[in-house]
Amino acid sequence: MKTIIEPFRIKSIEPIRMTTREQREAILRAAGFNLFLVRADDVIIDLLTDSGTGAMSSEQWAGIMRGDESYAGAASFYRFQARIQELTGFEHILPTHQGRASERILFELIGGPGKVIPNNAHFDTTRANIEHSGATAVDLPIAEAADPGCRHPFKGNMNVEALERLIAEVGRERIPLVIVTVTNNSGGGQPVSLENLRAVRSVCDRYELPLFLDACRFAENAYFIKQREPSQAGRSVREIVLEMFSLADGATNSAKKDGLANIGGMLLLRDACLLQRASNLLILTEGFITYGGLAGRDLEAMAQGFEEVVDEDYLAYRIRSVEYVGERLTEADIPIVQPPGGHAIYIDAAALCPHIPREQFPGQAVVCDLYRMGGVRAVEIGSVMFGKAGSAGMDRRDDGSPARLELVRLAMPRRVYTQSHMDYVVEVCAALGNRRGQLRGLRMVYEPPVLRHFTARFEEE
Amino acid sequence: MQRRSWAEPFKIKMVEHLRMTTRADRERAIAEAGCNTFLLRSEDVYIDLLTDSGTSAMSDHQWAGMMQGDEAYAGSANFYHLESAVREFYGYQHVIPTHQGRGAEHILSQLCIRRGDFVPGNMYFTTTKVHQELAGGQFVDVIVDQAHDPGAEYAFKGNVDLDKLTRLVERVGAARIPYLSLHATVNMAGGQPISMANARDVARLCRRHGIKVFLDATRAVENCYFIKQREPEYADKSLAEILRELCSYTDGCTMSGKKDCLVNIGGFLAVNDDELADAAQNMVVIYEGLHTYGGLAGRDMEAMAIGIRESVQYDHMHARIGQVQYLGEMIVREGVPVVRPVGGHGIFLDARRFLPHIPREQFPAQALAAALYVDSGVRAMERGAVSAGRDPATGRNHYPRLELLRLAIPRRVYTQAHMDVTAESVIALYQQRDRIVGLKFTYEPKHLRFFRARFAPVEGDKVLGD
């Protein structure tokens, strides 16, 4: 059989409320042309994020019912710990309420003024946390990542020579650790090869620097390695996952992606001294070390989710369904970042709407029109999110000039939408493509001091 | 017929099995846990009275709400349900959800406290105090003196001493006091309530000096039950009316939903001031999550919204406090020293009078916790010198006047028979108290040491002799 079907059937559904174009026009204006400020109830297909929006399995719901809510030493924690130890090989596992809490604890301990932290590409909250500590976040992607049309199989790779240059330039003592984000979210959900990870590891070994993974989408990355890295085709995803983690000294993780959970995260560490300090900070800001600010039931859902995500039938379905949308959009002449990533399609808004200058946020204009035309909620990943000092920045310029890529991300929640939902999304995109000349730029009329994309407000030009 | 006993206004819909253990099992478990009940595995515990926080049983309505979780990242329908429940019952305008209470404390402390500020409050609480100190402030205790005397029978031992507060204002000036932290009920004093009259007076005094008042509303509904019982003019008012009035004397609240709101996870910060709300929404994104989910799953916001409505039902609160009083009366009847009167969420055994033969340097409350576990598998929490920690300047142990063992009662979880077992064990221990041995540290963490410290008996290898 050539068709890849979902390796599951539906057990519980959530009704979708339909809206008219007139209603959506009014909603859009009331929300200041920022889709983060639209009520979920007013959205037909919600592709804002793949974070925490997945559908849990019946086994996970059974875990939810089984949650042990004891404050200390809950059985749910020990089940969770054993599963993660087996999956990653890490001994020390701290649960947190979600990924950004893991990052905050880590960077509060090892960041600080004068420090420099390289990454293949930092994501928005990661960069915000690093900069909040006073450190500098540096992105070191390979050159191919900058070209949306280039079909490099591992566009998420870190530029290893650039890493060595950075170390030579600033000195190893100012670099507390090196981070590799798998898959690379701000670069289009692109994978990092095992070969690249090994190369980064050996640079880290040479300079005695710790290597950390931002491991939100580790399973999707491992599946790409199996598919695209010839030497890895014969290994199981589980083996590849284990090797990826074995190359690292620690990892931050949001379980809301590949943990197939609606809430939760973790911090994995090898260093016993760092563990002690992280545990103290965890207790103060998150919760006791055996619950980390989560309900016991959420630890159960994570334990089961991390098991289900390395199932290769699931991953084949997951990656193929994203790729399917990419193929259909390409047929409809919508320019997207190639090849499609693991968790999302990234529309190249600058190429789609060349008549809108970058100062008028072409990505945001596309996001607004997707909602107006079809009630589809996407997110801008360009000059609004990364454009200016004081906000998060993939390619932030100190002079406030726009980011390099103007993208619109259609993030796919896991196991939530069917192929017919995706066909509808493709239709909405195609309709937008046909009226692209009518799209208007936007001007920002309210700008919050940090992470401005969440609460900024706009007016149409 | 006159009703003499209270009964639960619910029946049981789902159960969770308990594992029975032998005394030998428990001796092994407590030794492995370094005589610290925090380090016991919950499956080795029979009746878990470590905390009433997040350990409650949800109702079938709340579980139904769990299935209606809207897990959208932005604008989840559950957020709007929560917001409207908080507005309706607590009366605050702006609601910022957080993953639990300490997330709200963190944000409030960071936004309001500047280096060198003083934050008065009716007795300290562990995590609240640390957040205030991290923000550069210093906590000042302004609770009435009776709160520090476990034997004093006084209806509102949680009250603020207005003279102490006035003296603080005169000493440091109102400009150095960003807000007063008003706890209702006061956990560290034994779950003791404040009176409405006191809340009103505090608000008047603070407003005159331009000092804000933030309520720690964690157990405010339990406090309102005591106001209804003990303050005559409120006898005929509903809990919901009393709660609205109490909150009206304050400028906002931090909330751990894991207590009154009957949920396993969740909290919020609620304020009336528009600018403070705006700043809090910008900050919550960094630490917790976008301001319409605050680091919670949508389903957990729904469960909290429903829990708030259930928490102000008189029948619920009558049974809740009634159960705590029932356990307290059994223990008091046998002469066991406890904090009087019995508070809202637990029984606080007075370890200094319970174990006069154990000097304070040997942590009598910690020893009592370990012995209680060995005797019956009941897990309780030390609230005394171990919790109070050391003076950061001198490095010496703090010895607060209260050296207590807290038996916190989870809501809607345990039956009367469980309470009977607990009372029997406490009474049996009291009758053979000479067999309990003091403890010494074998590992002592720097911050919040009570969570992860390890101990050993000062002599022999058993904390409870045969």
pLDDT of residue B76: 96
**Do residues B247 and B289 share a domain?**
yes
Rounded CA-CA distance B204/B165 in Å is 12
The catalytic residues of B are: 73, 125-126, 216, 259, 383, 450
Closest by Cα among B136, B110, B183 to B344: B183
Contact status, residue A35 vs residue A378, Cβ threshold 8 Å: yes
Does any CB of chain B come closer than 8 Å to the CB of residue A203?
Answer: no
Mean pLDDT on B195-214: 98
Query: Which range marks the domain in which residue B144 is found?
Result: 60-311
Chain A residues close to B106, C-beta within 8 Å: 285
Give pLDDT tens digits along chain A (461 positions): 677 888 999 999 999 999 999 999 999 999 999 999 999 999 999 999 999 999 999 999 999 999 999 999 999 999 999 999 999 999 999 999 999 999 999 999 999 999 999 999 998 788 888 988 899 999 999 999 988 889 999 999 999 999 999 999 999 999 999 999 999 887 789 999 999 999 999 999 999 999 999 999 999 999 999 999 999 999 999 999 999 999 999 999 999 999 999 999 999 999 999 999 999 899 988 999 999 999 999 999 999 999 999 999 999 999 999 999 999 999 999 999 999 999 999 999 999 999 999 999 999 999 999 999 999 999 999 899 876 544 443 334 444 445 578 999 999 999 999 999 999 999 999 999 999 999 999 999 999 887 788 889 999 98
Q: Is residue B425 assigned to a domain?
A: yes
Joined tokens for residue B57: 């049983």
The verdict on a CB contact (< 8 Å) between A263 and B297 is yes
Does any CB of chain B come closer than 8 Å to the CB of residue A42?
Answer: yes
CATH number for position B137:
3.40.640.10
The tens digit of pLDDT for each residue in B252-261 reads 999 999 999 9
Nearest CA in chain A to B134: A284
**Do residues B336 and B291 share a domain?**
no
Instruction: Indicate the average pLDDT of chain B.
Output: 95
Q: Return the residue in B16, B105, B254, B286 with the most chain A beta carbons within 10 A, the one to mutate for interface testing.
A: B286
CATH number for position B46:
3.90.1150.10
Q: Is residue B423 assigned to a domain?
A: yes
Does any CB of chain A come closer than 8 Å to the CB of residue B99?
Answer: yes
The tens digit of pLDDT for each residue in B342-388 reads 999 999 999 999 999 999 999 999 999 999 999 999 999 999 999 98
Neighbours of B363 (CB within 10 A): 28
Nearest CA in chain A to B56: A69
Closest by Cα among B123, B131, B285 to B194: B123
Rg, Å, chain A Cα set: 21
Torsion of CA B211, B212, B218, B223, to 10 degrees: 70
Rounded CA-CA distance B243/B247 in Å is 6
Model ipTM?
0.85
**Do residues B175 and B305 share a domain?**
yes
Chain A residues close to B265, C-beta within 8 Å: 293-295, 298
- Domain boundary among the residues B263, B281, B311 is at B311
Nearest CA in chain B to A131: B286
The verdict on a CB contact (< 8 Å) between B299 and A262 is yes
- Domain boundary among the residues B289, B311, B333 is at B311
The verdict on a CB contact (< 8 Å) between B287 and A128 is no
pLDDT of residue A388: 58
pLDDT of residue A393: 37
Phi-psi group of A403: left, alpha or beta (phi > 0 → left; psi -120 to 50 → alpha; rest → beta):
beta
* pTM listed for this prediction: 0.90
- So where are chain A's domains? 21-50+312-460, 58-308
Mean pLDDT on B138-161: 95
The verdict on a CB contact (< 8 Å) between B285 and A39 is no
Q: Please give the tally of structural domains in chain B.
A: 2
Contact status, residue A341 vs residue A321, Cβ threshold 8 Å: no
Query: pLDDT > 70: what percent of chain B?
Result: 99
C-alpha pair distances (Å), A81 with each of A218, A268, A272, A306: 18, 11, 17, 11
**Do residues B274 and B398 share a domain?**
no
B window 289-328, beta carbon within 8 A of A: 289-291, 295-300
Does any CB of chain B come closer than 8 Å to the CB of residue A450?
Answer: yes
Closest by Cα among B109, B107, B125, B105 to B117: B109
**Do residues B384 and B296 share a domain?**
no
Nearest CA in chain B to A450: B282
Query: pLDDT > 70: what percent of chain A?
Result: 96
Confidence band, pLDDT 50/70/90 cuts, at residue B3: low
The verdict on a CB contact (< 8 Å) between B100 and A37 is no
Does any CB of chain A come closer than 8 Å to the CB of residue B288?
Answer: yes
Residue found under tokens 């990661």 = A126
CATH code reported for the domain at A21-50+312-460: 3.90.1150.10
**Do residues B35 and B81 share a domain?**
no
The verdict on a CB contact (< 8 Å) between B42 and A448 is no
For the stretch A323-348, what's the b/e string if a residue is b when 16 or more beta carbons lie within 10 angstroms of its beta carbon? Answer: bbbbebbeeeebbbbbbbbbbbbbbb
The verdict on a CB contact (< 8 Å) between B74 and A100 is no
**Do residues B196 and B299 share a domain?**
yes
Rounded CA-CA distance B48/B406 in Å is 11
**Do residues B83 and B183 share a domain?**
yes
- What one-letter code names the amino acid at A289? I
Q: Is residue B97 assigned to a domain?
A: yes
Rounded CA-CA distance A92/A269 in Å is 6
Confidence band, pLDDT 50/70/90 cuts, at residue B393: confident
Strands ordered across the beta sheet of A250-254: A92-96, A265-269, A250-254, A211-214, A178-181, A116-119, A136-139
Q: Is residue B7 assigned to a domain?
A: no
The tens digit of pLDDT for each residue in B61-82 reads 999 999 999 999 999 999 999 9
B window 193-252, beta carbon within 8 A of A: none
Does any CB of chain B come closer than 8 Å to the CB of residue A287?
Answer: yes
The verdict on a CB contact (< 8 Å) between A97 and B446 is no
Does any CB of chain A come closer than 8 Å to the CB of residue B130?
Answer: yes
Q: Is residue B329 assigned to a domain?
A: yes
Chain A residues close to B130, C-beta within 8 Å: 284
The tens digit of pLDDT for each residue in A260-313 reads 999 999 999 999 999 999 998 999 889 999 999 999 999 999 999 999 999 999
The verdict on a CB contact (< 8 Å) between B99 and A286 is yes
Mean pLDDT on B23-28: 97
Containing B382, the helix (H) or strand (E) segment is strand B381-383
pLDDT of residue A394: 36
Does any CB of chain A come closer than 8 Å to the CB of residue B84?
Answer: no
**Do residues B298 and B206 share a domain?**
yes
Classified by CATH at the fold level, domain A58-308 comes out as Aspartate Aminotransferase; domain 2 (3.40.640)
The tens digit of pLDDT for each residue in A331-375 reads 999 999 999 999 999 999 999 999 999 999 999 999 999 999 999
Nearest CB to B41; choose among A73, A280, A286 = A73
**Do residues B73 and B180 share a domain?**
yes
Does any CB of chain A come closer than 8 Å to the CB of residue B281?
Answer: yes
Rounded CA-CA distance B29/B26 in Å is 5
A window 373-432, beta carbon within 8 A of B: none
Mean pLDDT on B182-202: 96
**Do residues B117 and B40 share a domain?**
no
**Do residues B77 and B166 share a domain?**
yes
